[in-house]
A and B are shown apart, each in its own frame.
Chain A
Amino acid sequence: DADVTQTPRNRITKTGKRIMLECSQTKGHDRMYWYRQDPGLGLQLIYYSFDVKDINKGEISDGYSVSRQAQAKFSLSLESAIPNQTALYFCATSDSGGQTDTQYFGPGTRLTVL
């Protein structure tokens, strides 16, 4: 079984709809991240969480919200989806920091907003 899973893997929705993307991990890591990736652009950090009670905005948090329900679960919500949120979304996890802290990525969710 995969260590980091994301659901759904593909989603098509309409402008104005609320949508939630879910991430679960069995790696036992404290830290979890949400990124988006657009063609020709690097991975952009949306939100990150260092533990259940810690939520931090990344560089592109506008239009998104997150919930850290448990150590193993981190959800990303689009309250009112718009077409320019069409992208590939990745969840990642890492252990408790330090120089060698390494991020591991889930399989991604391809989101299309019409």
Chain B
Amino acid sequence: QKEVEQNSGPLSVPEGAIASLNCTYSDRGSQSFFWYRQYSGKSPELIMSIYSNGDKEDGRFTAQLNKASQYVSLLIRDSQPSDSATYLCAVRESGATNKLIFGTGTLLAVQP
């Protein structure tokens, strides 16, 4: 069973701080990785995708990927209360199915 693991949290950070969210995965052949943000009762919204080792930055968000360690992370700089949500890590399964395997999510709480 291919797995994606995340710390469920809650991760509490003060406003303006850097929030660091982590994800590990079991499928060594995976090549595509995604971070979704989900507000309570709402649908997941894509915020970052990453396919190559290293860092990818988009505004206040930075995704980091290390395929050798099977590890992907999301950094949120200058955290705002509006960033308070559950962050889902998703990994595309290797092979022909193209399915995404989702972690259970990390709840982030940004304290004003």
Chain A residues packing against B (C-beta within 8 Å): 31, 40-43, 45, 48, 50, 56, 58, 88, 90, 94, 97, 99-108, 110
Contacting residues, chain B, for A103 (C-beta < 8 A)? 34, 46, 90, 100
Q: Determine if B32 and A43 form an interchain contact, defined as CB atoms under 8 angstroms apart.
A: no
How many A-B Cβ pairs are below 8 Å? 53
Cα separation A88 to B105 with both chains bound (whole Å): 15
Chain B residues packing against A (C-beta within 8 Å): 4, 8, 31-32, 34, 36, 41-46, 49, 51, 88, 90, 92, 97-100, 102-105
**Most chain-A CB neighbours within 10 Å: which of B41, B43, B46, B92?**
B43
Contacting residues, chain B, for A43 (C-beta < 8 A)? 44, 88, 102
Q: Determine if A101 and B98 form an interchain contact, defined as CB atoms under 8 angstroms apart.
A: yes
